[in-house]
Amino acid sequence: MKNRKLLMIPGPIEFEPKVLQAMGAVTTSHVAPNFINSFGNSIELMRKVWLSPKGQPFIVAGSGTLAMDMAAANLIETNDNVLVISTGYFGERYAEICKRYGANVTILKTEIGATVSLTAIEKELASKKYKLLTITHVDTSTGVVINPQPIAKLAKKYNVLSVLDGVCSVAGEEIKQDEWEIDVVLTASQKAVGVPPGLALLVASEKAMKTFKNRKTLVGNYYADFTNWLPIMNAYENRNPSYFGTPPVNLIAALEVSLQFIIEEGIENRFKRHQKMALAFREAMLALELQLVPISKNNSSNTLTAVYYPENINGGDFLKNMSDNNVIIAGGLLPSIKTKYFRVGHMGSVNSNDVIATISAIEKSLKTCGYHFRNGIGISTAQDILS
């Protein structure tokens, strides 16, 4: 049972009650005027949240992996060279996806918790003609963030399409898609966008759409094919119904509500709130003398934090204690260190109370597990930052 346990995993997260009300509202026809309007509004609101006034949004039933798949399937043709800049599990996955569509994939990676240098990226881009590069903005497996702006700039310099996997960053970490000239920014609903899981979301630049339209071969994946979805997005944006597949009515109604909340908060305010919550949480972990998976503060994300268990603390015991303390956090995901760390999501509608409650539960659980630290040091460190 969930009861009143606080959900602090890196997605799904705590959702706004009004978003959940939209989820549970009576389902209308997918061609009903109120739904057509919700769908059209969601498309327009995505452009605002993505800071991409010129981009083409897509809203499709599926998981975040479908969004990754859509970008790859529509932009890659057999024998294209693709550069994957990996900071963990999801970089590896993106390499696998790109290979599936016939790409020759080069992966750039470094030790766990670090990011590939711009020098290494430029060296690789200069070495041969790449069609596309992918960046995992925040790898949900490690909590490592990479700054996409200078990479997108390099992509531009070498005339390479840039795809930003923003599953764990959109509407949490700063992204200015048009200003930074990123060709695809993709995400899933259940992360910082704040909607229950089930929607793949992406915005494609004019250049990406042109590349897609100039394909010489059919898209390898039927369901992901922009050819099927583009007329639907255009129709609903023009407030006309159209049919390819039945849209996930309740999820899209919930999306409209959440995107509206994001715009009401102000996207810049939202980025700042995420920075502050993350800083408070991170500093609390460091005050408890725990080690973060990201090797520096510069590459620690603002949407989740990955923390190594102290030595001699059993992960399973710790997670069970956390649940007993009514806070749900996540275990590790990256195979090579899976049992050695935990992950805490702090994104979406997360507030100071959530952060403090989570740190409080971590302190209690660590204590029960036999770890020694100055009682309250985590909470007071966070409190200083949040006050």
**Of 198 and 378, which has the nearer Cβ to a second copy?**
198
In the complex, least distance from residue 73 CB atom to a second copy, rounded to whole angstroms: 8
Q: What share of the chain is helix, strand, coil (3-state, %, to 5)?
A: 45, 15, 40
Counts for the chain of helices (H) and strands (E), in that order:
13, 14
Listing DSSP states for 20-38 in one string gives HHHHHSPPPPTTSHHHHHH
In the complex, least distance from residue 221 CB atom to a second copy, rounded to whole angstroms: 4
**Of 318 and 371, which has the nearer Cβ to a second copy?**
318
In the complex, least distance from residue 107 CB atom to a second copy, rounded to whole angstroms: 17
**Of 47 and 346, which has the nearer Cβ to a second copy?**
346
**Of 100 and 156, which has the nearer Cβ to a second copy?**
100
User: What is the C-alpha to C-alpha distance for residues 135 and 142, in angstroms, rounded to an integer?
Assistant: 14
**Of 160 and 328, which has the nearer Cβ to a second copy?**
328
**Of 60 and 287, which has the nearer Cβ to a second copy?**
60
**Of 246 and 353, which has the nearer Cβ to a second copy?**
246
In the complex, least distance from residue 238 CB atom to a second copy, rounded to whole angstroms: 18
In Å, how far from its chain's centre is CA 21? 24
Determine how β-strand 330-331 pairs with β-strand 341-345.
antiparallel
Q: Which residues bind a second copy (CB under 8 A)?
A: 1-2, 7, 9, 11-12, 15, 20-34, 61-66, 69, 72-73, 96-97, 100-101, 188, 190, 196-198, 218, 220-224, 243-251, 328, 330, 333
In the complex, least distance from residue 197 CB atom to a second copy, rounded to whole angstroms: 5
Give phi and psi for 156, each to the nearest 5. Answer: -60, -45
In the complex, least distance from residue 372 CB atom to a second copy, rounded to whole angstroms: 29
User: What is the C-alpha to C-alpha distance for residues 321 and 327, in angstroms, rounded to an integer?
Assistant: 9
User: What is the C-alpha to C-alpha distance for residues 168 and 266, in angstroms, rounded to an integer?
Assistant: 19
In the complex, least distance from residue 179 CB atom to a second copy, rounded to whole angstroms: 30
Residue 156 burial (10 A CB sphere; 0-12, 13-18, 19+):
middle
Largest CA distance in the chain: 64
Cβ neighbours of residue 44 closer than 8 Å, sequence gap 6 or more: 237
